[in-house]
């Protein structure tokens, strides 16, 4: 078998619940639904560090955030070993990256020279922007910024299609396409997609409090518009692979870097340990090896950290010894899962929307609307940002803060995580068992679970009053 091409496509802040194939009737994703019917669909794909730069650092290095150093946004990744592009290049691959980068840490609009591209050859990239209709980037070795034509995700998809069509045919390739949407601002998708959604017709999950229901519905309508626009982009990419005759020999992945709360639990954005923040879509299609019969995987979790070794394993390429993620390629071929079915979830340093002193600013409207003082204080204590470590298994979520056990959910019985069981005597044995398992996972990683100030000092990061590393646009 020839070495497969790899097309890795990911949106920013696309939560697992926001696709038709996941059972959401409100969002239109027909191309992804078709892809899911032909793919391995990991039901419990997880962003172990659910925020932009840290998750991307884990993807690109296969290492934990405390190894590569990106446990907060807008700092430079420092991989302790080859990157995903380095490893694929060593296996004879051409490498390409198009779209959002967000691991350079030298300013969000600055040119990124070749020696800071982690081994990617073809380059059409900007560090970070969320101005999707006026979106600059840098190409090849030029330090002159260019602007994508129109809605950037469509133009970036055009560029990815051109790369596939114009590739060096005898050489396999790794192409990573990173879109900025559906990340906020939610209401900036092209008009034809926004016209498909009416906030008054959007159904809300039961974990959205009444106090923020209107705001959540409004934002979900815009968020879903982005999702449908990107779904059309996926359809065009799949058609291109078919037209080029390489679909069977291409590993096609659709996923995200993390999710988005959008009103669930009264919160917005990410970093949080709840499912809307940590769970992501993850479809993997590789017809030559796995066929085209879709398969739902619900007996194990998989982390962003695991994606580099899994792709290298499927390609028959060497996995660098520096990689800390788990290789699921043998499991996909019919072997045993390389884990105990649990993924570590973590916040090493709460910042911005999840800063520790006041709780999430996204929750202020919700908290301000609670008239009972005791109830408001209790909700603030539950939602306030903090350092945490936890486990997401196929059934439970268990989370410990520096103060001790914080959250325990039975996600089968309570899929919207409305009942925190952590202090209930009848669940004390389960909590202790999960806490012991978490301790074992942390020991394996060498994670001492220190206050965030210790990690900031270790890596030399200065933060502002919001806990954020200052950056230039």
Active site residues: 52, 102
Look up tokens 């106090």; give the residue. 211
For residue 433, give the DSSP letter.
H
Q: How many Å apart are CA 196 and CA 194, to the nearest integer? A: 5
Q: How many Å apart are CA 285 and CA 253, to the nearest integer? A: 7
CA angle 221, 410, 418 (to 5 degrees): 45
Write the secondary structure of 140-179 as one string of H (helix), E (strand) and C (coil).
Answer: CCCCCCEECCCCHHHHHHHHHHHHHHCCCCCCCEEEEEEE
DSSP symbols for 358-416:
T--GGGHHHHHH---HHHHHHHHHHHS---EEEEE-SSEEEEEETTEEEEEEETTT-TT
Which H helix or E strand runs over 225?
Answer: helix 213-243
Q: How many Å apart are CA 16 and CA 392, to the nearest integer? A: 14
Q: How many Å apart are CA 75 and CA 52, to the nearest integer? A: 11
CB burial class (10 A; 0-12, 13-18, 19+) of residue 168? exposed
For residue 15, give the DSSP letter.
-
Instruction: Name the residue among 298, 295, 340 with its Cα closest to residue 434.
Output: 340
Instruction: Name the residue among 113, 262, 110, 241 with its Cα closest to residue 185.
Output: 262
- Quick check: 252 and 241 in contact, CB under 8 A? yes
Q: How many Å apart are CA 454 and CA 452, to the nearest integer? A: 5
Give how far the C-alpha of residue 151 lies from the chain's centroid of Cα atoms, to the nearest Å. Answer: 21
- Quick check: 58 and 65 in contact, CB under 8 A? yes
């Amino acid at each position: 078998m020839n070495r497969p091409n790899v097309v890795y496509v990911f949106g920013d802040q696309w939560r697992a619940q926001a696709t038709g194939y996941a059972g959401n009737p409100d969002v239109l994703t027909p191309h992804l639904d078709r892809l899911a019917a032909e793919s391995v669909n990991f039901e419990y794909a997880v962003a172990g560090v659910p925020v932009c730069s840290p998750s991307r650092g884990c993807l690109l290095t296969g290492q934990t955030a405390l190894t590569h150093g990106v446990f907060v946004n807008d700092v430079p990744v420092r991989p302790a070993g080859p990157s995903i592009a380095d490893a694929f290049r060593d296996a004879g691959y051409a490498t390409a990256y198009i779209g959002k980068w967000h691991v350079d840490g030298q300013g969000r609009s600055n040119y990124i020279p070749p020696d800071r591209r982690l081994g990617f050859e073809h380059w059409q990239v900007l560090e970070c922007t969320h101005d999707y209709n006026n979106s600059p980037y840098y190409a090849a070795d030029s330090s002159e910024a260019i602007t994508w034509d129109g809605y950037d995700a469509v133009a970036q998809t055009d560029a990815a299609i051109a790369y596939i069509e114009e590739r060096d045919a005898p050489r396999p390739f790794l192409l990573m396409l990173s879109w900025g949407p559906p990340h906020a601002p939610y209401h900036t998708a092209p008009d034809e997609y926004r016209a498909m959604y009416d906030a008054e017709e959007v159904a809300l999950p039961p974990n959205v409090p009444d106090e923020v229901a209107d705001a959540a519905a409004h934002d979900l309508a815009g968020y879903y518009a982005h999702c449908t626009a990107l779904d059309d982009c996926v359809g065009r990419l799949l058609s291109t692979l078919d037209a080029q005759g390489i679909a069977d020999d291409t590993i096609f992945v659709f996923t995200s870097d993390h999710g988005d709360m959008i009103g669930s639990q009264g919160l917005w954005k990410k970093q949080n340990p709840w499912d809307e923040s940590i769970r992501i879509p993850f479809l993997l299609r590789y017809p030559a090896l796995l066929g085209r019969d879709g398969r739902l995987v619900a007996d194990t979790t998989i982390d962003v950290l695991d994606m580099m070794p899994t792709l290298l394993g499927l390609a028959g390429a060497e996995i660098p010894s520096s990689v800390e993620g788990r290789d699921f390629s043998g499991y996909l071929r019919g072997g045993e899962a390389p884990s105990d079915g649990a993924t570590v979830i973590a916040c090493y340093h709460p910042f911005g929307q999840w800063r520790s002193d006041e709780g999430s600013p996204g929750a202020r409207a919700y908290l301000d609307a609670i008239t009972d003082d005791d109830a408001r204080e209790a909700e603030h204590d539950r939602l306030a940002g903090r350092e945490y470590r936890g486990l997401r298994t196929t059934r439970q979520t268990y989370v410990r803060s520096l103060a001790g056990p914080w959250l325990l959910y039975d996600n089968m019985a309570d899929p919207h995580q409305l009942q925190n069981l952590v202090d209930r005597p009848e669940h004390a044995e389960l909590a202790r068992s999960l806490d012991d398992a978490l301790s074992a996972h942390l020991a394996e990683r060498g994670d001492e679970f220190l206050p965030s100030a210790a990690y900031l000092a270790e890596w030399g990061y200065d933060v502002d009053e919001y806990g954020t590393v200052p950056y230039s646009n």
